[in-house]
Amino acid sequence: MRRPQYVLVVGLLLASFLAGCAPAAAPTAAPAAPVKETVVVKETVQVPVSAAEQEWELVNPAGVRQITPIELAPRITTLEGKTVVLRWNGKHNGDNFLNRIAELLAEQIPTAKVIKLWESLPESAAIVNTADGLAKVTKATQDLKADIVIASQSD
Amino acid sequence: MEKVGIPTVTVATSEFLGLSRSTMESIGLADMAFVEVPHPMGMIPLDEIRAKADAAFPEIVKAATQWKPEKTTIEGLGESPYPAKRIKFTGSYADLNKMFFEKGWSLGLPIIPPTPEAVEEMLKGTTHKPDEVVWVVPPRMGQLTVELVATLGVMAGCKPEHMPLMLAIVKGFSDENMGWRGTTTTTAATEPMVIINGPIVKELGIGYGQGCMGAEQPVNAALGYFVNLVGDIVGGSVPPEPDKSTQGSPADYVAMVLGENEDANPWKQSYAVEQGFKPTDNVVTVFTAYPGTGNIDHNSVKGTEILNTMVAGISGTASGISRCLTGPSTGGTGVGWLFMLVAPEHAATMFSEFKTKQEVQQYVVDNTKLPFKGYAPGLCKPPESFGPVTPDTLVPRFTDPTQIRIVVTGGAGKQSQLWGAFPQVVKPVSVLVEN
């Protein structure tokens, strides 16, 4: 140890002695905890119902379905000379998609007559879910003498 | 269209084909001509959507002219809805819950076992016959008999005296003005909402005061749980198909049920009375809503001050889907209805300056505005008479005071909630509670 450090250590020890400090006490053994006598539970413990197996009779909550089947419309075999009604449900870009389909139909099947329903019936550009609303859309489509409807939906 | 003899081709994205097929079956078709395009269609640039149309065009022409159905019948139809089948099961209560969940007969929360005895006891709460079909629940089109109302009520923790309320709630949600199919299959986190008025609120211990929309409200919670059991089990609307909820919400488990705090209503006109019912009538009002937003105003002293902070919140509710200048009957195209669930202290502050609800409604309509740029592209098209519009022009969201619905609810504190109705709600439906 170099001299300055030696002086510092001796000084600190002396200061500690004067301040009443003492070396850390050596650990002493902890007092022994009183030993409890082991108790054996002999009485029967009731198992909660939630954990016990049992026979259950239950009512099936699903309910049976009621759907009135409807027939598909007769299909067409060509778009040549047909009236094609495009139906947009108001979702973003559905009109842009169908606008492009209209352009392609005009280019590739020029004899097809293409009608955008949302232009003749603006309220059809929505998710129509009432009986009145659906009837209105259906009638407008029939009035246009549609041979086929191409619809765009989804997000 | 198919029903009236017009063939169709339906374009759906890959993510939504399942929902489309579910809808197809529920309207009675075993198969339809679908053309699948890669998801998404919305929120992409014009050149991308046009490219998707180019790619799909040959398939569309083929589907229009060559498609033939793969299926011609829908399976599992023709069974009698009553009595419901009985199930024998051996296992613990925990096993039973697991089995119910795995079969799609619960939402994942524990249920009370619907034993025939418990269902029979529940049926004592109504004069309706158990075989009466009260709703064919979309999209699965499950037949909800009174027996099944009782069954689901047992499962949810309801009691026989709740049967009239459960039946009224069902009547409300089954109304075509509610747009249930859309609300239960939408990508939005819509929440079924039930507001109860009349003496029945206190008689049955329905929460209407402190913390009424939260926990420790056993009747509200049981009724709310019942609503979602109906929708998901009998209605079959479970994620990921056909319930397309992007994120969902806790209200998918337990619908929001609350009583109006009629005693604390300073206008002395409850919501039900405002709708034409008598103060002694027990009335259930239902609608579905986008997640609400809170108004936490501790500072306003005047009526206009509290309403100004309210309209700030209302302006932003259901952002993105909101349209400008909506009217009261815009089902399917905009948020047509806004419910203010007003805390009594906030109501008192409003009342200090606005002595009728109509004055409040008018103030809200006149002041709820968004800058034009705050509406999503294409969703705000003011008429020419509105004048020129810049991105910062303030454009009102509503046009008619009746679009704003005021319900006083809750206890002490300065907290209110603002809920915008789902667009397919043509109008909120109020139903008289009968035995």
A chain contacts of residue B144, beta-carbon cutoff 8 Å: 63
Give per-residue pLDDT as tens, A49-107: 567 899 999 999 999 999 999 999 999 999 999 999 999 999 999 999 999 999 999 99
Q: Say if residues B38 and B14 touch (Cβ distance below 8 Å).
A: yes
Closest residue in chain B to residue A62, using alpha carbons only: B234
Interface of B with A in 186-205 (CB under 8 A): 187
Q: Give me B222's structure tokens.
A: 């049981």
Q: Do A57 and B74 touch (CB under 8 A)?
A: no
CA distance A70 to chain B (A): 5
Q: What is the pLDDT of residue B341?
A: 98
Q: Residue B293: enclosing H or E segment and its boundaries? A: strand B293-295
Q: Do B142 and A141 touch (CB under 8 A)?
A: no
Give per-residue pLDDT as tens, B82-115: 999 999 999 999 999 999 999 999 999 999 999 9
Give per-residue pLDDT as tens, A26-47: 444 445 555 555 555 555 555 5
Give the A:B interface size as CB pairs under 8 Å: 271
Q: What is the pLDDT of residue A23?
A: 47
CB nearest to B11's CB, from A52, A84, A152: A152
Q: What is the mean pLDDT of residues B200-228?
A: 97
Q: Do A53 and B333 touch (CB under 8 A)?
A: no
Q: What is the pLDDT of residue B332?
A: 65
Extract the runs of DSSP E, i.e. beta strands, from B14-52: 34-37
Q: Give me A132's structure tokens.
A: 């009145």
Give per-residue pLDDT as tens, A99-127: 999 999 999 999 999 999 999 999 898 88
- Lowest average pLDDT, out of A128-137, B223-232, B329-338, goes to B329-338
Ranges A13-22, B160-169, B181-190, B323-332, most confident = B160-169
- A148-to-A27, A72, B8 alpha-carbon distances in Å: 94, 12, 6
Q: What is the mean pLDDT of residues B183-190?
A: 92
Interface of A with B in 39-58 (CB under 8 A): 49-58
Q: Give me A85's structure tokens.
A: 């009604």
Where do the structural domains in chain B lie, given as residue ranges?
A: 9-66, 93-263, 292-432
What pLDDT band is residue A128 in, cutting at 50, 70 and 90? confident
Does residue B204 surpass a pLDDT of 90?
yes
Nearest to B273 by CA among B257, B264, B285: B285
At B112 the three-state DSSP class reads coil
8-state DSSP, B387: -
B chain contacts of residue A56, beta-carbon cutoff 8 Å: 87-91, 96, 113, 115
CB nearest to B41's CB, from A130, A146, A155: A155
Interface of B with A in 105-144 (CB under 8 A): 105, 113-116, 119, 133, 136-137, 140-144
Extract the runs of DSSP E, i.e. beta strands, from B385-428: 394-396, 404-408, 416-420
Q: What is the mean pLDDT of chain B?
A: 95
Give per-residue pLDDT as tens, B11-34: 999 999 988 988 899 889 999 999
CB nearest to A67's CB, from B67, B77, B145: B77
Q: What is the pLDDT of residue A48?
A: 57
Angle between helices B344-351 and B303-316 (to 10 degrees): 120
Nearest to A84 by CA among A113, A121, A124, A125: A113
* B79 close to A (CB below 8 A): yes
B311-B317-B319-B322 Cα dihedral, nearest 10 degrees: -80
A chain contacts of residue B113, beta-carbon cutoff 8 Å: 56, 58
Interface of B with A in 254-313 (CB under 8 A): none
Q: What is the pLDDT of residue A130?
A: 82
Q: What is the mean pLDDT of residues B186-203?
A: 96
Q: Say if residues B323 and A126 touch (Cβ distance below 8 Å).
A: no
8-state DSSP, B16: T
* A67 close to B (CB below 8 A): yes
CB nearest to B145's CB, from A63, A73, A104: A63
Q: What is the mean pLDDT of residues B54-80?
A: 94
Does residue B220 surpass a pLDDT of 80?
yes
Report strand pairing: B34-37 vs B8-13: parallel
Q: Do B90 and A53 touch (CB under 8 A)?
A: yes
Q: Say if residues B415 and B294 touch (Cβ distance below 8 Å).
A: yes
B chain contacts of residue A153, beta-carbon cutoff 8 Å: 10-12, 16, 20
CA distance B164 to chain A (A): 19
Q: What is the mean pLDDT of residues B58-81?
A: 94
B130-B136-B137-B143 Cα dihedral, nearest 10 degrees: 50
Q: How far is CA B341 from the centre of its chain?
A: 16
CB nearest to B6's CB, from A62, A67, A148: A148
A chain contacts of residue B94, beta-carbon cutoff 8 Å: 50-51
What pLDDT band is residue A25 in, cutting at 50, 70 and 90? very low
Closest residue in chain A to residue B68, using alpha carbons only: A75
Give per-residue pLDDT as tens, B232-277: 999 999 999 899 999 999 889 999 999 999 999 999 999 999 999 9
Q: How far apart are CA B172 and CA B193, in angstroms?
A: 11
8-state DSSP, B230: I
Percent of chain B with pLDDT over 70: 99
Residue bearing the bigger pLDDT, A4 or B90:
B90
Q: How many CB atoms lie within 10 A of CB A106?
A: 12
Q: Residue A152: enclosing H or E segment and its boundaries? A: strand A148-152
Long-range own/partner contacts, residues B265-269 (CB < 8 A, 24 or more apart): B265/B344, B265/B347, B265/B408, B266/B344, B266/B347, B266/B348, B266/B350, B266/B351, B266/B408, B267/B347, B267/B351, B267/B355, B267/B356, B267/B357, B267/B406, B269/B357
Q: Residue A119: enclosing H or E segment and its boundaries? A: helix A117-120
